[in-house]
Amino acid sequence: MPKRNELSLEKRVQIQLLHEQGKSQVDISKTVKCSRRSVQYAIQRFSATGSHQNRPRTGRKRITTDRQDRQLLRESLRNRKKTSSELAAEFSEQMKKTISARTTRRRLQEAGLKGCKARKKPWLSDSNKKARYEWALQHRTFTAEDWSNVVWSDESNFEVSKSI
The pLDDT confidence band at residue 80, using thresholds 50, 70 and 90, is: confident
Residue 86 has pLDDT above 80, yes or no: yes
Cα 153 to Cα 157: distance, rounded to the nearest angstrom: 12
Cα 131 to Cα 128: distance, rounded to the nearest angstrom: 5
Residues in contact with 100: Cβ distance below 8 Å, sequence separation at least 6, in sequence order = 88
C-alpha separations of 120 from 57, 117, 123 in Å = 47, 9, 9
Cα 23 to Cα 152: distance, rounded to the nearest angstrom: 81
Please give the pLDDT value at position 90: 92
The pLDDT confidence band at residue 117, using thresholds 50, 70 and 90, is: confident
pLDDT tens-digit map of 37-77: 999 999 999 888 888 888 888 888 889 999 999 999 999 99
Helix axes 84-95 and 101-110, enclosed angle (nearest 10) = 100
Please give the pLDDT value at position 12: 92
Q: What pTM, to 2 d.p., does this model score?
A: 0.47
The pLDDT confidence band at residue 157, using thresholds 50, 70 and 90, is: low
